[in-house]
Amino acid sequence: MSVPQTPRTFGASTTAAEVIDGVDLHGRRAVVTGASSGIGVETARALAAAGADVTLAVRDTAAGARVAAGLEAGLPADAGKLAVARLDLADRSTVKAFVDAWTGPLHILVGNAGVMALPELTHTPDGRETQFAVNHLGHFALAVGLRQALAAADGARVVSVSSLGHLFSPVVFDDLDYRFRPYDPWTSYGQAKTANILFAVGAAERWADDGITANALMPGNIGGTSLARHVDPQQLAELIDTVGLALPPQKNVAQGAATSVLLAASPTVAGITGRYFEDCAQAEPVTERGTAVAGIAPYALDLENATRLWAMSEEFVR
């Protein structure tokens, strides 16, 4: 099946404000996870500025409240309302509480929160490796729990924030939790980011009849955000030198949020689903990691992989 291509009106330097310019989201409701820092704040700002009522779903509600107050002070008079709700993606009880508390339709769900390159192997209380649990399983449980609210919106969009890091590893189905292979912070991160893309592929396949689209994205190489708080600069420099890792040009947070906002609200991508975007356009396939600084690995868009991951994820979050 041919897939419509995104008009290349926007690019790597486009900001979230430029993407949302002229878009009217009044009457729409959005949830942005991890909206207390980094590109989550900018995503929430752009959606609210266009009129959407935005819930900042955050682990630290005090930090979320401070962010909401700061955003409100700079938003236009006709901006949407901001709310803050607790969501700890490593704690399924808070995911369930968030879902149970939600009423009415949900038009936009942006799975933005995440952790990266935890230096030591850790597991959540239910035994799942932490990066996989937080980045994928928590968002999976949230989206599945909110499916009826998304369906009620008649044209909802689900946005899954992934990464170029997916090129570090496919989902290793036989050892998701590093029970057998040596733990590595970057293959763990890569596996989780691949899972974010496969979730979008699976949701696109299952939820199309509900009018729900789902896409994943790479926000870019964004310095100075809390996502990199576990990354030792010296270790990263050694990794770059050892494996020949290359990084794309750095973006600021306003540019980093642009692709999330594009998928969440822009009419230029209406009807596109199950895809992976970067720099506000669909990514090109790559067949090996090498020194690639862009692109999508075939295993991350593979429907069989998505189906297998969906079935396993349903079992894990019961």
b/e map 236-246, b = 16+ CB within 10 Å? eeebeeeeebe
Rounded-to-integer distance, Cα 239 and Cα 247, Å: 12
Phi, psi of 160 (to 5 degrees): -115, 110
Q: What is the largest CA-CA distance in the chain?
A: 56
* Contact (CB, 8 A) for 297 and 117: no
* Contact (CB, 8 A) for 112 and 260: yes
* Assigned token pair, 52: 């959407």
Q: How many CB atoms lie within 10 A of CB 120?
A: 8
| DSSP single-letter state for residue 75 | S
The order of strands in the sheet holding 213-218 is: 82-86, 53-58, 29-33, 108-111, 157-161, 213-218, 276-278, 281-282
The residue from 178, 183, 189, 276 that is catalytic is 189
What pairs with residue 29 in β-bridges?
53
- Cα three-residue angle 34-39-41, rounded to 5 degrees: 65
189 catalytic? Reply is yes
> Positive or negative, the Cα torsion across 34, 40, 41, 43?
negative
Phi, psi of 69 (to 5 degrees): -65, -40
Tell me the catalytic residues: 189
